[in-house]
Amino acid sequence: MNSPAPYFLPSTPAASDRLPLKQKIGFGLGSFLDMWGHWLYASLAFQVFNIFLGVAPGLIST
């Protein structure tokens, strides 16, 4: 018979390893700007080519 695997409780991180709330908010705001810079144009291109120009979605993505 196999013995059951030992169960380990996850350790809580030290207080010095945690991020302050201001840094978390800063990361969140940075990801918002990242979304505008990287994904806005691609999603608008899909809309323009598909809706306005009538190009098939499969042809846009390849």
What are the 10-residue block averages of pLDDT along the chain, 62 residues in total?
A: 70 83 88 78 86 88 66
Closest CA to 42 of 30, 34, 4, 13: 34
Domain ranges within the chain, ordered by starting residue: 21-61
Q: What is the pLDDT of residue 9?
A: 72
Q: What is the pLDDT of residue 31?
A: 79
Q: What is the pLDDT of residue 14?
A: 81
| Overall pTM surpassing 0.75 (yes/no) | no
Q: What is the pLDDT of residue 62?
A: 59
Closest CA to 31 of 39, 41, 20, 21: 39
d(CA 58, CA 39): 18
* Tokens read off for 20: 């302050």
